[in-house]
Amino acid sequence: MDFSGKHVVVTGGTGALGTAVVGSLLGMGATCTVPYRHEAEAQRFAHRGDPNVRLMAVSDLADEAAVAKVYAGVTPWASIHIAGGFAMGKVADTDKAALMAQLDGNLVSCFLCCRAAVNAMITAGGGRIVNVAARPALEWRSGAGMTAYTIAKTGVAALTVALSEEVAKDGILVNAVAPSIMDTPANRSAMPKADHALWPKVEEVAATIVFLASPDNRVTRGAVVPVYGKA
């Protein structure tokens, strides 16, 4: 796959999965805009200093002004929306603030970035969008105990499929991946006794994302692709 001359926005690009996605894109010749919230994370970012990375401090991507800043002046070939976060919590223990935090961080941020990307890509004549859902978005029963997260990621899945129908004729192919628990340092630390060999590696999930975002993806759209590995 060749991303030479292509610009890609990667939200959540300084996180565990995002770092793998950005690394893969850079290796294929892309330039990347990577918004981040926390300076410490930007300092740790493995691709900091790469001349083809445009790191950009933003507040919260659930905020329209922050999203407008990310997309100002760029015409992305692809926009990859990884930003999001997980929280456990039964419905009985989830107040409105906790619900809204899950919806904002996972769904509203994704929606606003899709909207900005679509407006830029329609003018450019097409492009690729890849969102990141999660396994419970496809398997609702598995979302018990994490219902707010499940609702938010199910929204990301529905957004992906409906938006794909809206913009296919504009040459924009929209897809999502739905990872199971990935092999990240945070998950290893939270679940030290789990069989980590079963978990998909972030580089493996990144490979699926990068294909969906690439010019080699000519016809795939409206898919929410399970990336479960052996789990």
Ligand X SMILES: NC(=O)c1ccc[n+]([C@@H]2O[C@H](COP(=O)([O-])OP(=O)(O)OC[C@H]3O[C@@H](n4cnc5c(N)ncnc54)[C@H](OP(=O)(O)O)[C@@H]3O)[C@@H](O)[C@H]2O)c1
Shortest spacing between CB 112 and ligand X, in angstroms: 10
Nearer to ligand X, 172 or 183 (CB): 183
Q: Look-up: residue for tokens 């610009």?
A: 7
Q: Tell me if 38 contacts ligand X by CB under 6 A.
A: yes
CA dihedral 71, 166, 209, 144 (to 10 degrees): 110
83 — alpha (psi -120 to 50), left (phi > 0) or beta?
A: beta
Residue 20 C-beta: closest distance to ligand X, Å: 8
Give the sheet arrangement for strand 127-132, strand by strand: 53-57, 31-36, 7-11, 78-81, 127-132, 172-179, 224-227
Window of 22-30, 166-174, 177-185, 207-215 that interacts with ligand X by CB under 6 A: 177-185
Q: How far apart are CA 225 and CA 227, in angstroms?
A: 6
For position 16 contacting ligand X by CB under 6 A, the verdict is: yes
143 lines the binding site for ligand X (CB under 6 A) = no
Which residues, 6 or more positions from 60, have their beta carbon under 8 angstroms from its beta carbon? 37, 66, 104, 109
- Ranked by CB distance to ligand X, the top (closest) residue is 15
Site string for ligand X, 54-93 (x = CB under 6 A): ------xxx-------------------xxxxx-------
Closest listed residue to residue 160, CA positions, set 174, 180, 179, 143: 174
Per CB under 6 A, does 196 bind ligand X? no
Site for ligand X contains 103 (CB under 6 A)? no
Q: Does 23 bind ligand X (CB under 6 A)?
A: no
Using the rule CB under 6 A, is 129 a contact of ligand X?
Answer: no
Which three-class secondary structure state does DSSP give residue 172?
Answer: strand
- Shortest gap between Cβ of 66 and ligand X (angstroms)? 7
Closest CA to 55 of 11, 20, 24, 23: 11
> How many residues of this chain bind ligand X (CB under 6 A)?
26
Q: How far is the CB of 125 from ligand X (least distance, A)?
A: 28
Supply the minimum distance, in Å, between the C-beta of residue 171 and ligand X: 26
Which residue type does 215 have? P
Q: Which of 17, 99, 148, 157 binds ligand X (CB under 6 A)?
A: 17
Active site residue 149: yes
113: number of Cβ within 10 Å: 25
Residues that bind ligand X (CB under 6 A): 12, 14-18, 37-38, 41, 60-62, 82-86, 105, 109, 132, 134, 179, 181-182, 184, 187
Annotated catalytic residues are 149
